[in-house]
Structure 1
Amino acid sequence: MKLTVFHRSYRFRQPFRTSGWSMESREVLLLHIASADGAHTGWGECAPLPAFGTETLAEAEQIVSDASAVLAACRVSPHECTEDLDAALPGLARSPAARFALESALLDLEARSRGMSVADFLGGQHRSSIPVNAVIGGGPPGEAARLATEAVREGFRCLKMKVGGGDLEHDLDRLRAVRSSVDPSVSLRLDANGAWDFGEAEEALRAFIPYDVEYIEQPVAAEAVDELAALTGMNILPIAADEAAHSPESVRVLLERRAAHVLVIKPMAMGGLRLARECVLLAREYGVDVVFTSLIDSSVGRHAVAQLCASLPDPLRPQGLATGRLFAEDSGRDVIVDGTFALPTETGLGMTPVLEGA
């Protein structure tokens, strides 16, 4: 198999900000793997985000370069090549974004060669679309209300808003503005990105009770699992672990500790679609739901995660894959209608990236 790498930079419509950092564009590697005879190809995306604990772009480039020789010598079916890569490249386990991209491209290649979607190849439920939430960011009250109104008008029934970037009163003003601008049946999720210490988190959770919050992501730092478990046990509001759920090992710890009501998992940071899918099945044994989100990936990465979501058993909460709205430039186009991500009817990932003009 032959591996080709395309380095692309995609601008956001406006700087993407979260508590502690911001970025104006997304640097990604698009991986193209062709079968030995050139008859079939697959695509994957590597979008590292060191602020979330992944490798750097330079580290990803190196491991992807090392993978090229392994793929050239691989004589098993494409989806089995991931095991060869893991065995030959010890550093791949420490490069989750690169591993995600390589596995995605190999699964895309395998599924295309079989005339099926990646979702069908992964097995399980078959879906033509998946529900998704809209992101309304961390702007001032008026802007948050406007974005919420626009999202609901477009058919979204679930909104996600950043909190913790300022003082609590500012967040409460924004919550009031959003809740007063949309129907009470619209779900509202909050994401603090670990902004608070335990006392601040408890205060915020109690203050948010009147606003019918579906759950709040990562109210305390990712490494503060004891505090996360304590907040979960208090049952003030449903707690979701996001940054804390960064690996299969961390997911198992969170589940065993009963440290969250919901897990929010980014397959790009987890290291692959199949590892992420295993986490869902494990979480279901504990009665814990999983929501998948992008790592602010471009369209190739989002389509890979959408295929994973399409394979999952019911029930399926809205997933965090409507982030294409953030991009002024992108590797492709998502079809989102009435708050659902429409799965393409083509085989594999269902899409081929647009490389021109990036």
Structure 2
Amino acid sequence: MKASYKKYILDFKRPSGTSRGILHQKETWFFVLQGEEGFGIGECGILRGLSIDDVPAYEQKLKWTCDNIQLGRNKLWNELLDFPSIQFGVEQAFISLESKEPFELFPSPFTREAMPIDINGLVWMGDEAYMHEQIQQKLADGFTCIKMKIGAIDFKTEIALLSSIRKRYNKEEIELRVDANGAFKIEEAMEKLKILSQYDLHSIEQPIKQGHIMEMKSLCANTPLPIALDEELIGVTDVVEKEYLLKTIRPQYIILKPSLVGGFKGSEEWIQAAENHNVGWWVTSALESNIGLNAIAQWTATLKNDLPQGLGTGSLYTNNIDSPLTVKNGKIFYQKSVAWDTNKIEQICI
């Protein structure tokens, strides 16, 4: 068996804003295994400025992983604790290599086209007109759950956007989630949560920056609005530490991004800890290409979680890899009649 990797730059169709800045491109790495009977492929989806493995030695670690591929999937996972996105890419590649079809990692009713997954529609930060345009498009596209990025433009403007949705749709018709990406100052967070709670929101992701455990604990204990931890999970790799974090903060939800928390195995450890402490959860992609998104969607389908998942990011790029993943009426489908872009995949695997 031979392992290799290749860098790939994804280009956004339109600059996409978060509280950490505006995204024009997304860097990713494909990890490829060549065996006697075929190939396996995975994606190491790093997010600059957020991933714990955003370090100068990242590519060197990819090379080390290729050179030590004989260690196998489980030993490599343990050796790569500080590189969760590489853990995830290696997991995908081994499962892909062992599968009957390299892109059907987890056969299920989802991959048999019988059961799509409910997802949220993502609204990126921007000026008021652009955000309103996105909201209207998501509603027209049949989404009944909308997630809105907040924290970068004027808070009053964001509240006005939420108010405009609620004047037209009640919480039974449209579920609203917001994601602050840690943008709120600690001293103003509770007041903002009180204001946001007036609009019947499902939840808010990461209202303050990660690492302020006692402050987050206090917010979760007193919040009028359910809080979901996201960035707070990054870099916590030990099972005991995962249990401690959830036992201490006691959030209402956690959000699992496999590229940021150690792939399937790391995510499953978080799920177990969440269920031990009666914490809800759902899965979200981390802006991967369709290679990584496909793996996440198929795995998520096996978990049988009824909440809308965050898997609607496949249409963000001009140069994504065409795949059977299709979003329609607020759901993601796996349509086998739509082929993978074999030309691009061959170029990656060479």
TM range (shorter): 0.7 to 0.9
Question: What does 1:1-358 align with in structure 2 at a 5 Å threshold?
Answer: 1-35=1-35, 37=36, 39-56=37-54, 59-71=57-69, 73=70, 81-86=72-77, 90=79, 92-112=80-100, 117-120=104-107, 128-182=115-169, 184=171, 185-246=173-234, 247-249=236-238, 251-313=242-304, 315-333=305-323, 334-343=325-334, 355=344
Code of the residue aligned with 2:92 in structure 1: it is: S
Q: 1:58 to 1:127 in 2, by over 3 A?
A: farther
Please state how far the C-alpha of 1:70 moved relative to its aligned partner.
1.9
Q: Which moved more, 1:203-212 or 1:170-179?
A: 170-179
Please state how far the C-alpha of 1:345 moved relative to its aligned partner.
5.2
Q: Which moved more, 1:248-257 or 1:323-332?
A: 248-257
Please state how far the C-alpha of 1:201 moved relative to its aligned partner.
1.0
Q: Does structure 1 conserve the Cα–Cα contact (< 8 Å) formed by 2:26 and 2:47?
A: no
Q: Does structure 2 conserve the Cα–Cα contact (< 8 Å) formed by 1:127 and 1:310?
A: no
| Cα shift readout 1:135-156 (whole Å, capped 9, x = no counterpart) | 1112233332321221122121
Q: TM-score, normalised by structure 1?
A: 0.86
| Cα shift readout 1:314-349 (whole Å, capped 9, x = no counterpart) | x42111110123222212333112111113559xxx
Please state how far the C-alpha of 1:278 moved relative to its aligned partner.
2.8
Identity of aligned residues (%): 26
Q: 1:294 to 1:42 in 2, by over 3 A?
A: same
Q: Does structure 2 conserve the Cα–Cα contact (< 8 Å) formed by 1:215 and 1:240?
A: yes
Secondary structure class of the residue paired with 1:52? coil
Code of the residue aligned with 1:323 in structure 2: it is: T
Q: TM-score, normalised by structure 2?
A: 0.87
**Unaligned residue ranges in structure 1 (runs of 5+):** 75-80
Q: 1:310 to 1:276 in 2, by over 3 A?
A: same
Q: Which moved more, 1:165-174 or 1:261-270?
A: 165-174
**Unaligned residue ranges in structure 2 (runs of 5+):** none
Q: How many residues align?
A: 337
Code of the residue aligned with 2:208 in structure 1: it is: V
Q: Does structure 2 conserve the Cα–Cα contact (< 8 Å) formed by 1:264 and 1:292?
A: yes
Secondary structure class of the residue paired with 1:175? helix
For 1:156 and 1:338, the matched residues in 2 are separated by 6
Please state how far the C-alpha of 1:58 moved relative to its aligned partner.
5.1
Q: Which moved more, 1:128-137 or 1:260-269?
A: 128-137
Q: 1:217 to 1:106 in 2, by over 3 A?
A: same
Q: 1:304 to 1:283 in 2, by over 3 A?
A: same
Q: 1:152 to 1:351 in 2, by over 3 A?
A: same
Q: 1:128 to 1:70 in 2, by over 3 A?
A: farther
